[in-house]
Amino acid sequence: MAMTDPSGTVPTNKPSVQVSDDAAGYYTPGEPLVDPRTPTGPIATRWTNRKFENRLVNPANRRKLTVIIVGTGLAGGAAAATLGEAGYNVKSFCYQDSPRRAHSIAAQGGINAAKNYKEDGDSVHRLFYDTVKGGDYRSRESNVYRLAEVSANIIDQCVAQGVPFAREYGGLLDNRSFGGVQVSRTFYARGQTGQQLLIGAYQALERQVAAGTVSMYTRHEMLDLITVDGKARGIIARDMVTGAVETHTADVVVIASGGYGNVFYLSTNAMGSNVTAAWRAHRKGALMANPCYTQIHPTCIPVSGDHQSKLTLMSESLRNDGRIWVPKNKEDCDKDPRDIPEEDRDYYLERIYPSFGNLVPRDIASRQAKNVCDEGRGVGPMVGDFRRGVYLDFSDAIARLGKKGIEAKYDNLFDMYERITGENPYEVPMRIYPAVHYVMGGLWVDYDLQSNVPGLFVSGEANFSDHGANRLGASALMQGLADGYFVLPNTIREYLADGPFEAIGDDHPDVVAARESVQGRIDRFLAINGERSADSYHKELGNLMWEYCGMERTAEGLRKAIDGIRELKRDFWSNLKVLGTADSLNQSLEKAGRVADFLELGELMCIDALNRRESCGGHFRAESQTEDGEALRIDEEFAYVAAWEFTPAVENDPNEPQGSMGTPVLHKEDLLYTAIEMKQRSYK
Amino acid sequence: MTSVATQTQTPALVKGSRAARTTITLKILMAVSGIVFVGFVLTHMYGNLKAFAGHDAFNEYAHHLRTFGEPMLPYEGLLWVIRVGLIAALVVHVGAAYALARRASTARTQKYAVKKNASSSISSRTMRWGGVTILVFLVWHLLNFTIVKINPAGGATNDPYNLLVDTFDLWWMTLIYLLAMVALGLHLHHGTWSALQTLGWTGTAAARKRAKTAGWVLAIVIAGGFSLVPLFVLLGVISK
Amino acid sequence: MKLTLKIWRQADAQARGEMRTYQLDGVSEDMSFLEMLDVLNEQLNASGEEPVAFDSDCREGICGTCGLMINGQAHGPEVTTTCQLHMRTFSDGDEITIEPWRADAFPVVKDLIVDRGAFDRIIQQGGFISANTGSAPEANSVPVPRDKALRSFNMATCIGCGACVAACPNGSASLFMGAKITHLGELPQGQPERDTRVVNMVAQHDHEGFGGCTNIGECTAACPKEIPLDVISQLNKDLRTALKHGH
Ligand SMILES: Cc1cc2nc3c(=O)[nH]c(=O)nc-3n(C[C@H](O)[C@H](O)[C@H](O)COP(=O)(O)OP(=O)(O)OC[C@H]3O[C@@H](n4cnc5c(N)ncnc54)[C@H](O)[C@@H]3O)c2cc1C
Ligand code: HEM
Ligand code: HEM
Ligand code: SF4
Ligand code: F3S
Ligand code: FES
Q: Decide whether any atom of ligand 2 lies within 6 Å of the B194 Cβ.
A: yes
Contact A374, A389 (CB under 8 A): no
| Three-class DSSP category at C106 | coil
Q: Which ligand is nearest to the CA of B89?
A: 2
To the nearest whole angstrom, how far is the Cα of C167 from the nearest Cα of chain B?
Answer: 8
Q: How far apart are CA A598 and CA A595, in angstroms?
A: 5
Q: Which residue has the CA at smallest separation from atom 3 of ligand 1?
A: A107
Nearest one of A307, A432, A313, A314 to A380, comparing CA atoms: A432
Q: Nearest-CA neighbor of A207 among A345, A99, A51? A: A99
Q: Tell me, what CATH number does A562's domain have? A: 1.20.58.100
User: Which of A406, A434, A462 is the last residue in one of the domains?
Assistant: A434
pLDDT of residue A182: 82
Half-sphere exposure at residue A592, Cβ-oriented, CA atoms within 13 angstroms: 30
For chain A, residues with pLDDT lower than 50 are 1-2
Kindly give the distance from the C-alpha atom of residue A197 to the centroid of ligand 5, in angstroms, as a whole number. 28
Task: Say what the pLDDT of residue B92 is.
Answer: 97
Residue A503 sits at the chain B interface (C-beta within 8 Å): yes
What's the mean pLDDT in B27-52? Answer: 94
Residue B63 CB burial class (10 angstroms; 0-12, 13-18, ≥19): exposed
- Ligand 4: centre distance to CA C137 (Å): 31
The mean pLDDT value for C225-244 works out to 96
- The length of chain A is 684
Task: Write a three-state SS string for A359-424.
Answer: HCCHHHHHHHHHHHHHHHHCCCCEECCEECCEEEECHHHHHHHHHHHHHHHHHHHHHHHHHHHCCC
Residue A207 and residue A608: Cα distance in Å, rounded? 42
Asked if residues A577 and A529 have their Cβ atoms less than 8 Å apart, the reply is yes
Residue A524 forms part of a structural domain = yes
Interface of C with B in 105-164 (CB under 8 A): 105, 115, 117-118, 121, 124-125
Distance CA C84, CA A310 (A): 12
Q: Are A307 and A422 in a shared domain?
A: yes
B16 CA: distance to closest CA in chain C (Å): 8
Query: Could you give the residue ranges of the DSSP H alpha helices within B108-170?
Result: 122-125, 127-145, 160-169
pLDDT band at B5 (very low <50, low <70, confident <90, very high): very low
Domain limits for position A534? 509-670
Residue A584 belongs to some domain of the structure: yes
Q: How many C-alpha atoms does A151 have within 13 Å on its Cβ side?
A: 32
Q: Could you count the other beta carbons within 10 Å of the beta carbon of residue C168?
A: 28
Instruction: Report how many domains make up chain A.
Output: 2
The C-alpha atoms of residue A22 and residue A471 are separated, in whole angstroms, by 26
| Non-local CB neighbours of A411 within 8 Å, separated by 6+ positions | none
CA distance A217 to chain B (A): 7
A283 is catalytic: no
Q: Residue type at A155?
A: I
Mean of per-residue pLDDT scores for chain A: 94
| 3-state DSSP assignment of residue A68 | strand
User: For residue B227, which atom of ligand 3 is closest to its CA?
Assistant: 1
Query: Domain boundaries in chain B?
Result: 23-103+123-234
- Which letter does DSSP use for residue A195 in this model? H
Suggest the residue from C239, C244, C245 to mutate for an interface test with chain B (most B CBs closer than 10 A): C239
| DSSP line for B170-234 | SHHHHHHHHHHHHHHHHHHHHHHHHHHHHTT---SHHHHHHHHHHHHHHIIIIIHHHHHHHHHHH
Q: Which of A410, A434, A458 is the C-terminal boundary of a domain?
A: A434
Strand A186-187 to A323-327 pairing: unpaired
Chain C residues within an 8 Å CB radius of A103: 57-58, 63
Q: Please name the helix (run of DSSP H) or strand (run of DSSP E) that holds residue A589, with its range, or none.
A: helix A587-611
**Residues A519 and A642 reside in one and the same domain:** yes
The β-bridge relationship of strands C3-9 and C95-99 is parallel
Phi-psi region for residue A238, left (φ > 0), alpha (ψ -120 to 50) or beta? beta
B213-239: pLDDT as tens digits: 999 999 999 999 999 999 999 998 998
For the stretch B132-155, pLDDT in tens is 999 999 999 999 988 888 888 888
Instruction: Using the predicted structure, report yes or no on whether residue B3 has a pLDDT greater than 60.
Output: no
Residue A385 has a pLDDT of 82
- Cα(C53) to centroid(ligand 4), Å: 22
Q: How far apart are CA C231 and CA C223, in angstroms?
A: 13
pLDDT of residue B18 exceeding 50, the answer is yes
Q: What distance in Å separates the CA atoms of residue B134 and residue A166, rounded to the nearest whole number?
A: 51
Mutate to test the interface with C, among A72, A83, A90, A101 (most CBs of C within 10 A): A101
Q: Which domains does chain C have, with CATH numbers?
A: 3-110 (3.10.20.30), 116-244 (1.10.1060.10)
Ligand 5 centroid, distance to B118 Cα (angstroms): 12
Query: Which chains reach chain C with 3 or more Cβ–Cβ distances below 8 angstroms?
Result: A, B
Looking at residue A617, its pLDDT comes to 85
* Whole-number pLDDT of residue C29: 92
Task: Tell me which of C12, C62, C122 to substitute to probe the interface with A (most A C-beta atoms closer than 10 Å).
Answer: C62
Q: In this complex, is the C-beta atom of A496 within 8 Å of any C-beta atom belonging to chain B?
A: no
pTM: predicted TM-score of the whole model, two decimal places: 0.95
Spell out which residues of chain B touch residue C107, defining contact as CB-CB under 8 Å.
none
Using CB atoms, pick whichever of A217, A234, A503 lies closest to residue B7. Answer: A217
Instruction: Give the model's pLDDT for residue A315.
Output: 83
Q: Which residue in the set B22, B199, B205 is minimally distant from C206, CB to CB?
A: B22
Residue B1: the pLDDT is: 34
Is C242 close to ligand 4, i.e. is its CB under 6 Å away?
A: no
Do A389 and A521 belong to one domain?
A: no
Give me the pLDDT at residue A669, please. Answer: 97
**Are the beta carbons of C239 and B59 closer than 8 angstroms?**
no
pLDDT in tens, C61-110: 999 999 999 999 999 999 999 999 999 999 999 999 999 999 999 999 99
Q: Among residues A46, A138, A146, A362, which one is catalytic?
A: A362
- Of the candidates A434, A469, A499, which is a domain's last residue? A434
Instruction: Give contacts of A 486-545 with C, CB under 8 A.
Output: 486, 489, 533, 535-536
Q: Tell me whether A504 touches chain B (CB under 8 Å).
A: yes
Q: Which residues of B185-220 are buried (b: 16+ CB within 10 A; e: fewer)?
A: bbbbbbbbbbbbbbbbbbbeeeebeebbebbeebbe
**According to the model, what pLDDT value does residue A683 have?**
63
Question: Is the C-beta atom of C178 inside 6 A of ligand 6?
Answer: no
* Whether A514 and A420 share a structural domain: no
Asked if the Cβ–Cβ distance from B3 to A217 is below 8 Å, we say no
Distances C159 to A103, A276, C77 between C-alpha atoms, Å: 13, 26, 19
